[in-house]
């Protein structure tokens, strides 16, 4: 007998139905390509009621699964969970876009209110005892052996995720866990908004043309455009984003201004006042430590890494320590070279390289040693041409064709969209959205997002929609945007994530595309970086923005010769962030002063005084704006070991465009999502576990130094990477 709904339930259903009828966020995605987000209909006031209605609907779906009177099966439990929550996924996708790229005081107010509520909502599902019993029954059932390998993997994933989220805790512990998650959600939001405020509100005003000395024409134009957009009467403005700051630190001859720019950027979240993040970090760490203990783990780091390729913090630390010592040794050589050049140019005997000098003098040394001026290289790196180069690589490796389309709505005029098809069959694969430029309200950095995952749960193929987002400074109207070699590498990196999503060929959405463990997800993106410097890309797409002539081979040769230059700096600034992240989360429940901990830990590690962490703790959004990369920033290094080793499979065969190796890469890595254990997937591609050797060669580090740096030799890293999830 079906129970009679209460008046409150009836009212809730009626309210949800009314909201669906009037709120465009709650309408199914309509239009071509299997439906697309209706960005043109979205208003900020739609978000809160849409989230509330979608959460209520999802809870009804979960309740129906949990209270199903029929015998528990994969289909009525696990597959049913895969079908549940689609409307909420779509609402949160659009909400996330506004939060990350169109943030405003109104959006931020909604974030502050809804973040704890969304966390509580997730816990309501994760802590549903009846639901867990059904998932557990499927996972432990003898009938599981009759399921397909993908269904078995999905059953394990649901069971493991629920256990890790506290499904087995008693009622008191569950209540406290939910309180912690809600508090953390609020703190994550506050942390992010503080960093965004410092990025938005702080700029370096270049008052006169004297302040522009040393800057290349393209950077002067960008700075002038930024001043105009901010309605400031000045020679230029340097905005507080990496894509603006790093070129300024590289080329500005004004040392005092370099120091100002450097302090503005590296002190984000660390300036005292209402936007200071240090107290928030301390609270986040305390709550994470308490949560880990509730869940039965020694520390937050142990909880986070339990479900990764590394498996333990010790394995991740072993890899980082192997690379740290040779990287720091290289920095000492780099600094000595810069000091010598500075003195040769007339710097006093007491002159010392400071952090705001490093990029400036490194560029001078690069030019002197390799006759390589990065500004010269930049003249050949037009953003649009580099994008075309990425498309060409995708065609060669993945058989994709990209065609621009204008028949779908976008959320900002800067956003452009391409349809992706199979080159041979013409079959629709998905859509790629590109949002390349910095603007007020857009978080800094570069990232990929999936608006919709590929799947064929009900037999009808659902194609993916992915996006890439960058923060390039838009130049003069009608002129090409020139980007640095580092920016071009980042562009290829993020496109690698997009290709991971576009290549997906699985049944269940939870296993689709980039839905893999943290220290594996960066592997496909890291490996794609290797195709930027190939002659096929550079000769065809690296063309001078004025003459249209391809980059000279002599310049390409100089780029190749300088490929290991400054690797001490680049590796050390990254590893410092990764090591601080791990050590913060291995510290357990001790009360931490973030600034003091950072300072003392770096001193203990022997951090060169001329370098700072790539992401200082008060602005470390990877780690403190969500749980995403917490105790997991090491994963970029773990993944690049895989990427360097994987690319060696091409160089050992017929070269970067070897068809047979490319097909193995697609079949075993890019297309399978999380349907196969990642360590096994890598073995299926490479025929063995990964080795660190290729990474050390790429960076010009001696293997002997790496092996000597740690009690764990390189083969231990190989074994750790091969452990099963």
Pairing of strands 428-437, 464-472: parallel
Mark 392-424 as b/e (b = at least 16 C-beta within 10 Å). Answer: bbbebbbbbbbeeeeebebbeebbbbbbbbeee
Copy the structure tokens of residue 90: 């779509």
Q: For 61, phi and psi rounded to 5 degrees?
A: -65, -45
Instruction: Convert the pLDDT of each residue in 345-373 to its tens digit.
Output: 999 888 999 999 999 999 999 999 999 98
Please, are residues 595 and 281 in contact by the beta-carbon 8 Å criterion?
no
Q: What is the pLDDT of residue 11?
A: 53
Q: Cα–Cα distance between 45 and 107 in angstroms, integer?
A: 9
Q: Cα–Cα distance between 244 and 223 in angstroms, integer?
A: 8
Give burial (CB, 10 Å; 0-12/13-18/19+) of 13: middle
**Catalytic amino acids?**
494
Residues of the chain where predicted confidence (pLDDT) is lower than 70: 1-21, 704-725
Handedness of CA 521, 527, 533, 537 (dihedral sign): negative
Please, are residues 240 and 198 in contact by the beta-carbon 8 Å criterion?
yes
Copy the structure tokens of residue 388: 């075309």
Instruction: Convert the pLDDT of each residue in 185-233 to its tens digit.
Output: 999 999 999 999 999 999 999 999 999 999 999 899 999 999 998 899 9
Nearest-5° Cα angle at 639, 633 to 645: 155
Copy the structure tokens of residue 376: 């010269």
Q: Cα–Cα distance between 530 and 523 in angstroms, integer?
A: 12
Give burial (CB, 10 Å; 0-12/13-18/19+) of 296: middle
| Whole-Å CA distances, 125 to 122, 200, 292, 397, 662 | 5, 37, 19, 41, 41
Give burial (CB, 10 Å; 0-12/13-18/19+) of 206: buried
Copy the structure tokens of residue 203: 């700029």
Run of H or E including 206: strand 203-206
Q: For 445, phi and psi rounded to 5 degrees?
A: 100, -165
606: CB partners within 8 A, 6+ apart: 328
Q: What is the pLDDT of residue 10?
A: 54
Q: For 68, phi and psi rounded to 5 degrees?
A: -60, 125
- Cα dihedral angle (189, 194, 198, 200), rounded to 10 degrees? 40
Q: What is the pLDDT of residue 498?
A: 98
Q: Cα–Cα distance between 499 and 467 in angstroms, integer?
A: 10
Please, are residues 722 and 324 in contact by the beta-carbon 8 Å criterion?
no
Q: For 449, phi and psi rounded to 5 degrees?
A: -140, 150
Residues found in the chain: 725
| Whole-Å CA distances, 103 to 26, 621, 641 | 21, 16, 36
Q: What is the pLDDT of residue 708?
A: 43
Give 383's Cβ-side CA count (13 Å radius).
Answer: 18
Please, are residues 240 and 268 in contact by the beta-carbon 8 Å criterion?
yes
What pTM was computed for the model? 0.90
Q: What is the pLDDT of residue 478?
A: 86
Closest CA to 331 of 607, 25, 45, 55: 607
Q: How many CB atoms lie within 10 A of CB 652?
A: 10
Nearest-5° Cα angle at 201, 195 to 206: 125
Closest CA to 397 of 521, 490, 498: 498
Q: Cα–Cα distance between 374 and 246 in angstroms, integer?
A: 12
List of E strands, 395-520: 400-405, 416-422, 428-437, 447-452, 464-472
Q: For 503, phi and psi rounded to 5 degrees?
A: -80, -10
């Amino acid at each position: 007998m079906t129970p009679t709904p209460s008046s409150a339930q009836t009212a809730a259903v009626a309210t949800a139905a009314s909201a669906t009828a009037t709120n465009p966020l709650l309408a199914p995605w309509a239009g071509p390509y299997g439906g697309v987000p209706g960005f043109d209909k979205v208003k900020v006031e739609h978000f809160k009621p849409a989230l509330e209605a979608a959460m209520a609907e999802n809870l009804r779906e979960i309740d129906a699964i949990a209270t199903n009177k029929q015998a528990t099966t994969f289909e009525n439990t696990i597959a049913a969970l895969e079908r549940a929550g689609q409307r909420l996924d779509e609402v949160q996708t659009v909400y996330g876009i506004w939060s990350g790229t169109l943030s405003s005081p109104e959006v931020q107010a909604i974030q502050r209110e809804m973040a704890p509520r969304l966390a509580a909502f997730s816990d309501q599902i994760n802590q549903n005892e009846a639901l867990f019993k059904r998932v557990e029954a499927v996972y432990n059932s003898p009938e599981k052996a009759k399921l397909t390998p993908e269904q078995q993997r999905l059953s394990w994933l649901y069971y493991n995720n629920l256990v890790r989220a506290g499904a087995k805790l008693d009622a008191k512990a569950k209540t406290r866990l939910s309180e912690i998650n809600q508090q953390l959600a609020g703190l994550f939001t506050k942390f992010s908004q503080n960093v965004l405020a410092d990025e938005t509100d702080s700029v370096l005003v270049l008052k006169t043309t004297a302040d522009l000395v040393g800057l290349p024409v393209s950077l002067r134009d960008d700075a002038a455009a930024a001043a105009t957009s901010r309605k400031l009467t000045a020679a230029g403005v340097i905005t507080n984003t990496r894509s603006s700051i790093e070129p300024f630190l590289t080329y500005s001859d004004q040392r005092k201004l370099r120091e100002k720019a450097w302090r503005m950027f590296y002190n984000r979240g660390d300036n005292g006042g209402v936007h200071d993040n240090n107290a928030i970090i301390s609270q986040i760490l305390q709550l994470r430590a308490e949560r880990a203990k509730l869940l039965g783990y020694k520390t937050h780091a142990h909880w986070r890494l339990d479900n990764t390729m590394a498996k333990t913090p010790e394995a991740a630390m072993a890899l980082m320590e192997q690379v740290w010592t040779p990287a720091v040794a290289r920095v000492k050589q780099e600094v000595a070279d810069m000091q010598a050049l500075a003195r040769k140019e007339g710097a006093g005997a007491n002159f010392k390289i400071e952090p705001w000098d490093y990029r400036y003098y490194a560029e001078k040394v690069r030019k002197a040693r390799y006759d390589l001026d990065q500004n010269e290289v930049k003249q050949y790196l037009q953003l649009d041409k580099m994008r075309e180069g990425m498309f060409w690589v995708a065609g060669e490796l993945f058989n994709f064709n990209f065609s621009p389309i204008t028949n779908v709505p976008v959320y900002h005029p800067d956003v452009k969209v391409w349809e992706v098809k199979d080159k041979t069959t013409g079959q629709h694969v998905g859509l790629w959205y590109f949002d390349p430029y910095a603007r007020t309200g857009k978080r800094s950095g570069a990232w990929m997002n999936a608006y919709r995952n590929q799947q064929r749960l009900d037999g009808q193929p659902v194609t993916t929609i992915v996006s890439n987002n960058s923060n390039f400074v838009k130049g003069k109207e009608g002129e090409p945007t020139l980007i640095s070699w580092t920016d071009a590498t980042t562009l290829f990196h993020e496109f690698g994530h997009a290709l991971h999503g576009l290549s997906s060929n699985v049944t269940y959405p939870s296993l689709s595309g980039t839905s893999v463990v943290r220290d594996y997800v960066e592997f496909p993106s890291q490996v794609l970086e290797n195709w930027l410097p190939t002659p096929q890309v550079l000769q065809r797409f690296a063309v001078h923005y004025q003459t249209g002539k391809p980059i000279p081979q002599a310049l390409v040769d100089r780029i190749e010769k300088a490929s290991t230059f400054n690797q001490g700096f680049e590796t050390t600034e990254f590893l410092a962030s990764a090591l601080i992240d791990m050590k913060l989360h291995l510290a357990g429940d001790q009360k931490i002063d973030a600034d003091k901990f950072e300072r003392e830990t770096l001193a203990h590690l022997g951090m060169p005084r001329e370098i700072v962490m790539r992401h200082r703790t008060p602005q470390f959004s990877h780690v403190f704006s969500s749980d995403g990369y917490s105790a997991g920033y090491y994963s970029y290094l773990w993944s690049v070991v895989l990427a360097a080793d994987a690319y060696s499979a091409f160089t050992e065969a017929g070269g970067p465009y070897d068809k047979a190796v490319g097909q193995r890469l697609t079949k075993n890595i890019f297309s399978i999502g999380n349907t196969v254990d990642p360590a096994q997937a890598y073995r299926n591609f490479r025929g063995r576990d990964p080795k660190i050797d290729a990474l050390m060669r790429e960076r010009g580090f001696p293997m002997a130094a790496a092996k000597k740096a740690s009690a764990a030799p390189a083969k231990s890293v190989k074994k750790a990477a091969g452990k099963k999830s």
